Amino acid sequence: MMSSFVPGFLLSLSLILAIGAQNAFVLRQGVRREHVFWVCLTCAITDALLISAGVAGFGALAVAVPWFETAMRFGGAAFLFVYGTRAAISALQGGAVLEPAGENGQSLKRTILTLLAITFLNPHVYLDTLVLVGSISAQYPDRVAFAAGAISASAIFFFILGYGARLLQPVFARPVSWRILDGLIAVTMWAISAALLLG
């Protein structure tokens, strides 16, 4: 079991460590201490579902439905561009301060819906989980253990990122720090959007 669990864990961790739209969102929520548990849990559950689907063999969807990848790529690029633009406007306007959860923040419903859009409108999520993890899992004798390792790495990472972000709270007591964070988020979203259009 461990001979399949560990490679699954390491593969998932290596894929998720790269800064991306989902990670940037979790980081921001963590710094704000806003709906952190539910954001981390949602990320863990969605990754678990996608990884399970990939290991179960649904990676063939992109091959079976030729237009799927293109539709996801352009839809995801448009969404990430808009989200990045909103972050850029926030960075330019400034004035943000660190406030406790629930004060001038988004509702839990809106936060989760935004997170789900960031997750499922990003084609890289499908390539990483359905295609890459799914295809690599076929090389291991215990695919269930491989999937368990990949799912564990994802869940651990998101909870560490979400709750570890609060260590940065003193830094984000200053409005200029929020402008920098929003600017970095905007650049990240735009870079991913451009990569989707060019790739």
Residue-wise pLDDT tens digits, 81-134: 887 898 888 888 875 555 544 445 689 999 999 999 988 988 778 777 877 777
Give the start-to-end residue ranges of the domains of the chain. Answer: 2-198
Take residue 3 and report the two structure tokens written for it: 């001979």
Ranking 54-58, 101-105, 133-137 by mean pLDDT, the lowest is 101-105
In 10 A of CB 99, how many CB atoms? 12
Give CA torsion, residues 21, 118, 33, 88, to 10 deg.
Answer: 60
Close Cβ partners of 178 (under 8 Å, ≥ 6 residues apart):
90, 91, 94, 96, 97, 98, 172
- Residue 95 and residue 148: Cα distance in Å, rounded? 43
Check if the beta carbon of residue 86 is closer than 8 Å to that of residue 185: no
Average pLDDT over residues 43-51: 94
pLDDT of residue 149: 94
On the question of pLDDT at 62 being above 60, the answer is no
61 pLDDT band, cuts 50/70/90, is: low
Average pLDDT over residues 66-89: 77
| pTM metric for this prediction | 0.71
